[in-house]
Copies of this chain bind each other. A is one copy, B any other.
């Protein structure tokens, strides 16, 4: 049984990544998963927020922004312009920040802030997971540059992180939902995890009725299938532009995939 776009239930959308798309940021990718497109940039600033100053630790923060015409139907007002960003936007950018901070040893980064901007240019479901998966590549590019220029004394990465959605459709459990699937799914799960099978964050929401415990287990299993595939893709992209992911890992943390 296949889906509207012909994919198998456990298949993620075709992903195209253009690293270095944004020339000013220390790391950047244009991340395209089907008809979802996110520009992820990683910017390095040699200061930390006032509440962190003097502790010798680094910080990583994220901002998520929808383009007004990200949807296929019609232009929306630009979220957060002239007023506070919506609750949804704030929830998503807090998630992105937590996800990527889990990949880093902030205590070793030094007093430095890495800001990840996730600009959703086109949206067809899965924008938060695309933002996380793409941001990891931008982050690795920025870290590589920091190591090359000796702006940081030692590697600070401790995990590779990717994210994917899983939903319960009429056809069964499915990976990486597009918008029309997402809006009819009975359950919506987002998994942020490492390719070695550890969980950074999992959020599962029954859209209508509560779901049996067993279903949660199956959805997490399926999510790991996607995370491993996307993590492989992250390594390929980084390899293509000469970034050796293993070299960015703290001593003893890298495990050959």
Contacts and interface: CB of A to CB of B under 8 A. Distances in A.
Interface of A: 22-25, 35, 37, 39, 41, 43, 45, 63, 65, 67-72, 74-75, 78, 80-85, 87-88, 90-91, 93-94, 98, 102, 115, 117, 119, 121-122, 158-159, 161, 193-194, 197-206, 208-213, 215-217, 220, 224
A169 to B, nearest CB: 18
Contacts of A93: 87
A216 to B, nearest CB: 6
Among A24, A63, A159, A216, max chain B CB count under 10 A is at A24
22 contacts: A22-B121, A22-B122, A23-B35, A24-B70, A24-B72, A43-B74, A69-B115, A75-B115, A80-B82, A82-B83, A82-B85, A91-B94, A102-B206, A161-B210, A198-B206, A198-B212, A199-B213, A199-B215, A199-B216, A201-B204, A213-B220, A217-B217
Contact of A205 (B22, B39, B41, B98): B98
A159 B210 contact: yes
Given A161-B210, A199-B212, 18 more contacts: A22-B69, A24-B72, A25-B69, A41-B67, A43-B75, A65-B78, A68-B115, A69-B117, A80-B82, A82-B83, A83-B84, A87-B93, A102-B206, A197-B212, A198-B206, A200-B210, A201-B205, A217-B217
Contacts of A209: 102, 158-159, 198
Contacts of A75: 43, 45, 115, 117
Nearest to A41: B69
Secondary structure type dominating chain A contacts: mixed
Contact of A24 (B78, B122, B200): B122
A203 B68 CA distance: 29
A197 B37 CA distance: 38
A83 B193 CA distance: 35
List 8 tightest A-B contacts by C-beta distance, closest first: A84-B84, A198-B210, A87-B90, A43-B75, A43-B69, A25-B69, A91-B91, A200-B210
A86 to B, nearest CB: 8
A70 B199 CA distance: 32
Among A80, A193, A202, max chain B CB count under 10 A is at A202
Nearest to A224: B213
